[in-house]
Amino acid sequence: MADAGSPYLYVYARGADDWSGGREPIATLRQMDDDTFLRGRYNTQEGGPKGIDVDRSGRILAVTSEHEPLAFYDMAAIVTDDSAGTLSPVEPGVSFDEAGRELLLGAVVRNDDLVSRIDGLHAEIARLHEAVADSTTAVEIVRRELGARESAVARLEAKVAELSTDLAACRSTALRHVDMVADRQRRVVDLEGSTSWRATAPLRWANGMRQRFSAPHAPPNVDVDADREV
Domain edge (last residue) among 45, 68, 94: 94
Phi, psi angles (nearest 5°) of residue 156: -65, -40
Strand partners for 9: 2, 29
Long-range contacts: 94-97, Cβ < 8 Å, 24+? Answer: 96/55, 96/60, 97/57
**Tell me, what's the pLDDT at 191?**
83
Residue 114 shares a structural domain with residue 166 = yes
Tell me, yes or no, whether 225 lies in a domain: no
Domain edge (last residue) among 29, 63, 94: 94
**Tell me, what's the pLDDT at 215?**
62
Residue 88 shares a structural domain with residue 100 = no
Tell me, yes or no, whether 6 lies in a domain: yes
pTM: 0.35
Give the domain range for residue 16: 1-94
Residue 38 shares a structural domain with residue 116 = no
**Tell me, what's the pLDDT at 74?**
75
Number of domains in the chain: 2
**Whole-angstrom distance, CA of residue 63 vs CA of residue 67:** 11
Residue 61 shares a structural domain with residue 104 = no
Tell me, yes or no, whether 195 lies in a domain: no
Tell me, yes or no, whether 52 lies in a domain: yes
Tell me, yes or no, whether 194 lies in a domain: no
Residue 70 shares a structural domain with residue 18 = yes
Residue 72 shares a structural domain with residue 111 = no
Residue 2 shares a structural domain with residue 71 = yes
**Tell me, what's the pLDDT at 153?**
92
Which residues are CB-contacts of 123 (< 8 A; sequence separation ≥ 6)? none
Tell me, yes or no, whether 104 lies in a domain: yes
Q: How far is CA 46 from CA 6, 39, 40, in A?
A: 8, 10, 6
Domain edge (last residue) among 74, 94, 114: 94
User: What is the rounded end-to-end Cα distance, in angstroms, of the chain?
Assistant: 155
What averages of pLDDT result for each successive group of 10 residues across the chain (230 residues)?
81 76 78 81 82 78 79 72 53 47 58 77 90 90 91 92 92 91 88 82 82 65 48
Residue 137 shares a structural domain with residue 175 = yes
**Whole-angstrom distance, CA of residue 48 vs CA of residue 30:** 10
